[in-house]
Chains A and B, each alone.
Chain A
């Protein structure tokens, strides 16, 4: 078991966007019944077959680190969170499609996570400005996920989805918009039913997270 390679993926986003539900869905193939506040960081593990069906098939453990809190936290909390950002292989940015602020905060989240490697241990320093150049040579793959698609009224969906498409472009990332709700999933919880069907926009799949 320990011989399998590990892949560490951060799941970042504002409070209440659905990170814990997403992680639970990916790892347990079940919908989280009673989501509650994430204090600190909660980790879950998913076993994934990379390049399934081909001779290069390899099984990986994907560790999903679900970091709780908000961008506006005290700097002491930010410094504590920074300990989780070491040696990250991929980042999933989660935002709420019904809440514009959570999409705007994604810039700050990504800065917080990526700038970690540039600063020696001590108090975390970020200037908070968004600079597109910083993402140009970024080696860590990013995935933007928008949740709660079902709570947006039909005729507003188009403009919301266009806005999020721009967002994903800024990050140079792949994008998925989805709904995490019970009725979309089958009783037989051992498959991942419906998840590939939820790719409304962007062609990104989980395989893009793999560290090649």
Chain B
């Protein structure tokens, strides 16, 4: 009986998450496009719903809500469904939409998308070979195999994203890096841009007039087509057309220049806005956060280095360690069990919420930057895939932050994965990413000041 109640609670929450994912898709991601294929929206919302359910189950684990056997059942079911989606459905649909965009293969869409999916599976499988995750006890198509590979990809993604975020965040927020931009700078650049446009226009006017007079005189300037045409154009070419090609080259160079100037001007406007924002109260608050955050990032990089150099994996989680420190060194006595549950709940909750929010914001920005009306479907599916993998691997890594008694369910369900390996892998990627990005940003900031 209690199982039914628990299941109904889970299903209601899943429907809620599904609705939220649907709304997010419509309002944020696909603001400027029209949804023609509802499949894409459904897949995205389903991935989102099941990923959030996993986090929900962790919270329930900590709080002790619901029957433990029904929790276990839902964990297993959830994991199966998510793996099914991430490994089978989403890659297949990505291949299908990519193939639909290419006109040549339109007729045999299904066939080619199956081929693409098989290639994906092959590479996915090969991914597991160099890593110490193969356990000889389990069969080929077991949960552990799939999840280990998904975990590897997801952890790489997480480390890349957080490494980049760690370095980019202080750079964006702190006013130390903002170079001074005045209105006169912007006006000067705009004037240059307009001058370039005028030059392009005058050259194009010449070209148009030349073409018109050539047409009126009866010299038809045909673009060299085919092999014979190319040979002919080398030896005999009308003087007018020679002029045209020269001017065309100049125009191309000027157009490239105008694009550069446009981007620079946009950049200057953005910097000016950031300067104005930093003078407001909110801006000052974020500036302060930026200092705090940069210290935290430096500490994290330091810890990652130490972990790798000294080959150390943390055995205890921060909550228990914090409590130990307070009890032992400060002599404050309080009910360890009671507080550890609540504090770990809060900590894990914060981690989950910030990572979801951060991921969604990054995905949205990424989507706006690179999508077009043709490729929007493919990109949304790619984002759904990344999101799913990211969430699965956060579950793996979150185990580190939880006290021992709550780790049982994750360890039980996910089998005998080498969790330590994942932490080490995360640290490695995080370190390499931050170390490479940091000097890059430094160079960028110094070239502009």
Contact residues of A with B, CB < 8 Å? 1-2, 14-16, 27, 37, 39-47, 61, 63, 70-72, 74-77, 79-80, 83-84, 96, 98-101, 105, 121-123, 188, 190
Contacts and interface: CB of A to CB of B under 8 A. Distances in A.
Contacts of A39: 259, 262-263
A119 to B, nearest CB: 14
Contacts of B261: 40
Contacts of A190: 215, 220
Interface stretch (B15-23, B120-128, B189-197, B319-327): B189-197
B355 to A, nearest CB: 25
A45 B205 CA distance: 6
Shortest 8 CB-CB contacts between residues of A and residues of B:
A40-B262, A76-B269, A76-B270, A16-B373, A45-B204, A80-B266, A80-B265, A39-B259
Interface of B: 31-34, 183, 187, 190, 193-194, 197, 200-202, 204-209, 212, 215, 220, 255, 258-259, 261-263, 265-267, 269-270, 272-273, 368, 372-374
Contact of B208 (A2, A15, A46): A46
A105 B32 contact: yes
Contact of A47 (B31, B202, B208, B270): B208
A43 B199 CA distance: 11
Q: Tell me if B's interface is mostly helix, strand, loop or mixed.
A: helix
A70 B376 CA distance: 15
B411 to A, nearest CB: 45
A15 B205 contact: no
Contacts of A188: 220
Nearest to B30: A101
Given A43-B197, A45-B208, A74-B270, 9 more contacts: A1-B206, A15-B373, A16-B373, A39-B263, A76-B269, A80-B265, A83-B190, A96-B373, A101-B32
Contact of A101 (B33, B220, B263): B33
A45 B208 CA distance: 7
10 contacts: A15-B372, A40-B262, A42-B255, A45-B205, A61-B205, A71-B32, A76-B270, A77-B269, A80-B190, A100-B34
Contacts of B208: 27, 45-47, 61
Contacts of B193: 83
Contacts of B269: 75-77, 79-80, 123
